[in-house]
Chains A and B, each alone.
Chain A
Amino acid sequence: MLNFVVRRLLGMLPVLLAVSLLTFLIASLLPGDLALVILGDQATPETVAALRRDMGLDQPLWWRYLSWLGHVLQGDLGRSFRTGQTVLQAVAERIPVSLQLMLMAEFIGLLIGVPVAIACAARAGGAFDRFMTGSAFAMLSMPSFLVAILLIYLFAVELHWLPATGYVPFTEAPLANLRFFVLPALTLALAEWPGIMRVLRSDMIATLQEDYIALAKAKGLKPARILFVHALKPSSLTLVTVTGINIGRLLGGTLIVESIFALPGIGRLLVGAIYTRDLVILQGVVLLVACGFVIVNFIVDMLYAVLDPRIRHGHA
């Protein structure tokens, strides 16, 4: 197992390096000069040149990348020229919100997706299965901004059950915090459960055709016991991967959902950085998010290996 972990960790290094290079290039190759952004369009060429020199922007690209990477490795991702905050400070302030949103969304997604998948698999091809598979397809085709607005109008404006926008930290008021998260998490979850359901459903159907299930049936075990105890675990391998990949996808979803529900998370930070051309924040956040994604994938790989020992001994 240790061997496997080390191999995987070493495999991550080139990926992380590529991620850092790409992030650096995104910000460096975007049209617009950072010095000009800071000084404004009316700055004289001399002041722009002076600032470019101060910031090292007149150096060749490779030199700037290496020097930036050097700083990043020491934990210095730079400082926003608009707010004076360091990237790490800004991210630390916002990350709990996005994490909570993603976890709640994934949780609600599983809460809907798993039971539906089991029920569908139990009577594959039946009326319920056909209806849910159709609904899942419909849900997948709904853009999240539309779902969000519909939920807001139903639950906030018409019924007054939940707030339309806003946020309080969990530590300040736990119940109010959860109330603020219900609609945004539900918005994301409604796009999540169809994927979860479809993957688990097809795996379950395959598992249910295995010999040992037939044996269990022959032994007269209750159908519920067969489904939950004997079929669920071996069928959930793909689900683990999907859940891992979803976390990366959810990050993309937060860009829209956080803006609509006014949640102060990473998505909003990124949108704001793009809007104000705060390239330092943009670069830093994209780097951290990309690294986060690589790390999540690593964890998924590890889980996979735990669930199925064949993987760590095989050609993984």
Chain B
Amino acid sequence: MTNIAAAARKHAPIFLVAAFALLPLAGPVQAQKPGGSITVGQELEIAGFDPLKVGVYDTSTFTAAAAIFDTLTTLDDKGEAAPKLAMSWTHSDDYKSWTFRLREGVKFHDGTPFNAQAFKENFDRQKDPANKCRCAFYITNVKEVLAPDETTVVFNLTDPSVNWPAVITIQSSNNVIQSPTAWKTKGDDYNRNPVGTGPYILKSWTAGDRMVLEKNPNYWDKGRPYLDRIILKPLPDAQSRFASLQSGEADIIWDDENDADNIMKAQKDSKLTVHTYKGSGAQVYAFNTKVAPFDDVRVRQALVMALDRPKMSQAISNGLSRPATNPYGDGSWVKCKDDGALPFDVEKAKALIKDYGKPVEFKMLVTATPRGRMIGQVLQQFWKRAGANMEIEQVDQATIPSRAFTRQFQMTPWRIVDLADPDPQMYANFRSGSPLALAGYSNPELDKLLDHARVTADLGQRTEDYCAIGRLINKEAIWFWTFQNTYYALSSAKLKGFPKIYNGVIDVSRTWLE
């Protein structure tokens, strides 16, 4: 689902700060020690790296991709775009064209030179309709990529994007740069034999078991990486993954709020470090305002006001989940003094439903997982207290997007993922006529604010726009937010230099062992 929400990019590029000069990669303060090997315990098995095969990367693949490949830009510790394979960039006045100057002398692991042509080939391959790549959806807002000379890449976008360099930092299948020679010569085998310019080279990969990555001796960033070897292991069971960390078979593991007990145990263990990243975005729910009873604002407001988020957090994650009252979250640069959140007020909710005058009965989609079922049951209880009857409809995770896109729902769960800028997702989720505007709600004032926020470079002005958008959505209760996105990794206390977990990516390519 996370990738689906990122789909926002289709109808919405980005903005933010413009003049990104030659920011150096932010280096940690501690002294880095070279050498050593770590084992990373991941949640999922990696299917492969070829975008044409796997479409979009999942969070486990992100971790490997961060080590094997590079992107043009990266996010620094402040969450701003910084150079990686691109040294600098400029934009046109309307922010619809971005020109990147590439780093020279960089080579892929197979010796192929990295240049503008190689980058363009990566992009064209995904964009080519004949290749039928699932990945193509997420770059529909890029009209074309040009390579006027060896070291210059130009993106021509369909919509303005103030923050484009930050948008392309995530190690997704769209953004990582792969060796054209490798995919051309290896064919079907390329998927499991990826070649990038990144700090680590894939040495071996045993299906379902381990992926061994070894230090790239010719990495362009001299002195890096620090670790000689990274071993990635899929450890699908949360309990045994944590046990592997405790017994020393893994040095760092992926985790989430579902596993609250172990996260809390790790917080008390001096031998372990809990890495927490309070990202932007939130876990959200959309009302279909085109169908009863949600075509009436009183019902929508009543359901939102009946939610006791702290109690819900206690029930589902031992209180670890952080309540959300807007779609931006603590990790976002959008900070609102007033987001217009409706207060928790059961009496008011009851009154609104009484005022509505008809029985409030509806079905809600939830994922057919223990977690989905539990959240559904908790919501059901809150709403029952306010006098509304909700029926849980459990569906397969993959069914939710297609049901949502075809509007075959009354209420559906969704997610706003952690991205460097709110525009792609907000524009896609709330602009009238967008295929992702699940609520089916249309309001000229909301459209005006969304349009304005995406063509304004001034951060203060944009913050005002997004806060006004948040207030409007809260007042009209077309969507509601339950919890903010929080990302977790648990590691041995000896592992140092671990960066922020942007968008859930566990990037160990810059870590070292003390």
Contacts and interface: CB of A to CB of B under 8 A. Distances in A.
Interface of A: 31-32, 36-43, 47, 50-51, 81-85, 90, 93-94, 148-149, 152-153, 156-157, 160, 163-167, 169, 259-262, 264-265, 268-269, 271-272, 275-277
Given A42-B7, A84-B189, A272-B45, A37 B398 contact: yes
Contacts of B50: 84
A38 B134 contact: yes
Interface string B223-241: 0000000000111110111
A152 B191 contact: no
9 A-B pairs closest in CB distance: A264-B208, A40-B134, A264-B209, A41-B401, A42-B137, A164-B243, A82-B47, A260-B237, A84-B188
A259 B236 contact: yes
A43 B208 contact: no
A157 B233 contact: no
A265 B48 contact: no
Give the size category of B's interface with A. 35 or more
A84 to B, nearest CB: 4
Given A83-B53, A84-B188, 17 more contacts: A32-B399, A40-B55, A43-B132, A84-B48, A84-B192, A93-B206, A148-B240, A152-B239, A156-B247, A160-B247, A164-B240, A164-B249, A165-B233, A165-B249, A166-B209, A262-B233, A262-B235
A271 to B, nearest CB: 7
Residue from B54, B208, B405 with most neighbouring chain A CB atoms (10 Å): B208
Given A90-B207, A276-B47, A83 B237 contact: no
Residue from A50, A82, A261 with most neighbouring chain B CB atoms (10 Å): A82
A81 B399 CA distance: 19
B244 interface: yes
Contacts of B37: none
B132 A39 contact: yes
Nearest to B406: A41
B134 A82 contact: no
Nearest to A159: B247
B209 A157 contact: no
A271 B236 contact: yes
B381 interface: no
B338 interface: no
B133 to A, nearest CB: 9
Contacts of A163: 244, 247, 249
B399 A31 contact: yes
A48 to B, nearest CB: 10
A277 B399 CA distance: 11
A260 B249 contact: no
Contact of B405 (A41, A148, A149, A275): A41
Given A82-B47, A84-B53, A262-B234, A277 B398 contact: yes
A148 to B, nearest CB: 7
Contacts of B396: 31-32
Contact of A149 (B45, B236, B240, B249): B240
Nearest to A264: B208
B246 interface: yes
A264 B205 CA distance: 12
A167 B209 contact: yes
18 contacts: A40-B55, A40-B56, A42-B7, A82-B54, A83-B47, A83-B48, A84-B188, A84-B191, A94-B207, A165-B41, A165-B240, A165-B243, A165-B249, A165-B250, A167-B209, A264-B206, A264-B207, A269-B208
B243 A156 contact: yes
Residue from A42, A43, A81, A276 with most neighbouring chain B CB atoms (10 Å): A42
